[in-house]
Structure 1
Amino acid sequence: MSQSTNGTTHRRRFLFGGAAVGAGALLTACTGSGSSEENNASELVGNQNQQGSNAKPGKTVTIGLSIPSDDHGWMGAIGANALAQAESFDDVKLEATEGTNDVNKQISQIQTLINKKVDVLAILPFNGESLTAVAQQAMQASIPVVNIDRIFGSKLAYRTWVGGDNYGMGVNAGNFIANRLAEQGKTDNPVIVEVAGIDNLPLTQERSKGFSEALDAHGLTVTMRQAAEFTPQSGRTVMGNVLQAQDRIDAVWNHDDNQGVGVLAAIEQANRSGEFFMVGGAGSKVMMEHIRSGDGPMAATVLYPPTMSASAVNLARLIAQGRSMTDLVGRAVPSEITLHSATVTKDNVDQYLDIAF
């Protein structure tokens, strides 16, 4: 994480108005308020909202943050969004550890935060299974844990989970491709290529499952599926092999916009940019700019919003302060929150550029 420091406390001194705002409805639910008088709301609902906006300062809390290193644009945005959101609150201190992909180092960093007796932890583990024990240690020490995205191996290891919808990414990519092919009149055995991410990761498997099932609902199937490694280099190599194997292609879904840079490079090198359309994944600024300009095969990308870390900071703050989400009729923050995977097209890309990584 490029903007984190090892054990450094960050204080907020400005009102945040940038990328983390894009968490949209979730942040609204965390910080918004409703009128207890409106529509003759019940006493129960009125009691939930009578305290006003959760954005108003409460008791000062210290949030410990631990995430992997920013070796991918998406992970860099995770760190930046968390830091910026924490800085927007006058009642939050952020203890952010240095990002690392070393499981043992991340465990040690979390243990240090536990020993410092932070009020709450927000953790995106490099490996959920490997960090389950230390997260559970925090919970047993009465330090609530907000688990970001990569889920721990036990529900005893976290108070709340917030993350993206990998299955939903696949579904939305499949639906977009099916509908676009139908518009083009290509419904008779179209050639659909899937460039997946790292195959042994559950997130890749979930994305592929959603994609396959969505296509199946439209009577379509994946013609060729190849796995890359979430890097531009691997994307270029894999797509180069696909292009050699397929004389004709009608549509491509590439799971990750970072590896999509290489995928596009391979397509351009083969002079096949005008032959088919492509859907990306995660939502990088580079790919959104291609979508907006219409200068190549990029037609859409399905989001995996890095603003989830900003949402995690919001949730951690509310949990530590004993608050609820004021737009929900409940006494506490929910135990699980799955963020929607929006489909970004030329028609709506300007709404999402500010949260791209």
Structure 2
Amino acid sequence: MHAPRMRGKIITAAAFFAAGGLALTGCTAGEDTNAEPTNNSVEGNQSEGETVVIGFSGPAADHGWLGAINSAATAEAEKYPDIDLRVAEGTNDANLQISQVEQFINDQVDAIVLLPTDGAALTDVAIRAMEAGIPVINVDREFSSPFAARATVLGDNYGMGVSAGTYICEQVGDQPDAVVAEIAGIDALPLTQDRSEGFKDALAGCGLEVTNRVSADFTVQGGEAAASQLLAAAPEIDALWNHDDDQGIGVLAAIDAAGRDEFIMVGGAGSANAMREIESGDSVLQATIIYPHTQAADGIRLARLLAQDKAMSDLVEIEVPNRVVLNAPVVTSENVDEYLPTAFES
């Protein structure tokens, strides 16, 4: 038997926000401190409940970060004997992903964790799932309506740009004529636009701006082609931000082929190979900005809490938050040892 669904809690917009007015009552004199764990205590969260069926669908793992997203989600589900995880085949076809979610609805799963290949395209089917009483946890790429998800887990794309720009300001901000270059990901994606906006805003704080910019596609081949184009157009560069460490393999190959080493480079996402480059001290790559590959794993954990009518033990609030935005820290040679053990392989 599946845990009962909270249909009344996830259909209306008011339910997304009304929980903010709730509070826990403190202990009073004479209260039984040996009472059963509450729904947001550590013991209550970890205790095995009724089995919940969670459907997970994401894009095709065509680069290391997405592969890490999928493996981390599966590994998280395996920690809990009360999770029955149903994983749809990864796809970059929005119509196929829509059909996968429709199958989850027909199967009456208890929750859906969805990293959409296109947030806008998957919004309607996510709303249908919500209307069917199935909580949807939106990961990484946002839907276009607040009615499409009970909870959303995001990396901080704007914050990534801010972190990259702030680091470059610290390194070359005392050079008013510094040439700053940028190799973005897929320009059509809002996440790429957010990263570039944050980068621009942070650079403005030290009087710099992006002088040369190209976009790639998160792949090694795309990164190499875009970097070759950029290097040919910019004979002198002081600092370069590459949005993605997977495409960064190709970017570094193009830099090596061109024999260029006059600039510092900052990566993005936080892959293990990028961190090893930083650790070596022999590369133009001096830093990378974390974009957590744990987002879907976090989504799995939140889905379990929602389906079992539990909450987050580190919050006083007695319901799972509507929105969780993860941090975008800078990894350098000074702290790489802290991040390398849990980094993903490109």
Corresponding residue of 1:127: 118
Instruction: Give the superposition deviation at 1:53.
Output: 5.0
TM-score with structure 1 length normalisation? 0.84
Deviations along 1:64-110, whole A, 9 cap, x unmatched? 11111111111101110000000001111101111111111111111
- The reply on whether 1:260 has 2:251 as its aligned counterpart is no
Amino acid at match of 1:203: L
Corresponding residue of 1:188: 176
Is the CA contact (8 Å cut-off) linking 1:146 and 1:161 kept in structure 2?
yes
The 2-side partners of 1:214 and 1:50 are apart by 39
Unmatched segments (≥5 aa) in structure 1: 1-35, 38-42
The 2-side partners of 1:88 and 1:354 are apart by 19
Q: How many residues align?
A: 311
The 2-side partners of 1:47 and 1:307 are apart by 26
The 2-side partners of 1:201 and 1:87 are apart by 32
The 2-side partners of 1:73 and 1:326 are apart by 32
Corresponding residue of 2:285: 298
Deviations along 1:162-192, whole A, 9 cap, x unmatched? 011110000000000110124xxx4221111
- The reply on whether 1:322 has 2:313 as its aligned counterpart is no
Amino acid at match of 1:296: S
Query: Structure 1 residue aligned with 2:188, among 174, 197, 200?
Result: 200
The 1-side partners of 2:124 and 2:188 are apart by 22
Amino acid at match of 2:279: R
Q: CA 1:205 to 1:351, structure 2 compared with 1: closer, same or farther past 3 Å?
A: same
Query: Structure 1 residue aligned with 2:257, among 269, 276, 289?
Result: 269
Query: Structure 1 residue aligned with 2:202, among 198, 214, 220?
Result: 214
Is the CA contact (8 Å cut-off) linking 2:38 and 2:44 kept in structure 1?
no
Amino acid at match of 1:213: D
Corresponding residue of 1:311: 298
Is the CA contact (8 Å cut-off) linking 1:162 and 1:308 kept in structure 2?
yes
The 2-side partners of 1:294 and 1:168 are apart by 26
Query: Structure 1 residue aligned with 2:48, among 54, 57, 70?
Result: 57
Deviations along 1:175-234, whole A, 9 cap, x unmatched? 00110124xxx4221111111111121111110000000000111111111111212122
Unmatched segments (≥5 aa) in structure 2: 1-25, 28-32
**Helix, strand or coil for the counterpart of 2:183?**
strand
Instruction: Give the superposition deviation at 1:51.
Output: 6.6
Is the CA contact (8 Å cut-off) linking 2:135 and 2:149 kept in structure 1?
yes
Is the CA contact (8 Å cut-off) linking 2:51 and 2:84 kept in structure 1?
yes
The 1-side partners of 2:38 and 2:244 are apart by 44
**Helix, strand or coil for the counterpart of 2:43?**
coil
Is the CA contact (8 Å cut-off) linking 1:48 and 1:329 kept in structure 2?
no
Corresponding residue of 1:234: 222
Amino acid at match of 1:355: T
In the TM superposition, structure 1's runs of 4+ consecutive aligned residues that sit over 6 Å from their partners are none
Amino acid at match of 2:281: G
The 1-side partners of 2:230 and 2:148 are apart by 42
Instruction: Give the superposition deviation at 1:345.
Output: 0.8
**Helix, strand or coil for the counterpart of 2:192?**
helix
Identity rate, percent: 50
Amino acid at match of 2:198: G
Corresponding residue of 1:350: 337
TM-score with structure 2 length normalisation? 0.86
Q: CA 1:108 to 1:299, structure 2 compared with 1: closer, same or farther past 3 Å?
A: same
**Helix, strand or coil for the counterpart of 1:130?**
helix
Amino acid at match of 1:102: D
Deviations along 1:131-160, whole A, 9 cap, x unmatched? 111111111110000011111111111100
**Helix, strand or coil for the counterpart of 1:94?**
strand
Deviations along 1:41-77, whole A, 9 cap, x unmatched? xx9xx96765735122122211111111111111101
The 2-side partners of 1:55 and 1:293 are apart by 40
**Helix, strand or coil for the counterpart of 1:129?**
helix
Corresponding residue of 1:153: 144
Is the CA contact (8 Å cut-off) linking 2:41 and 2:313 kept in structure 1?
no
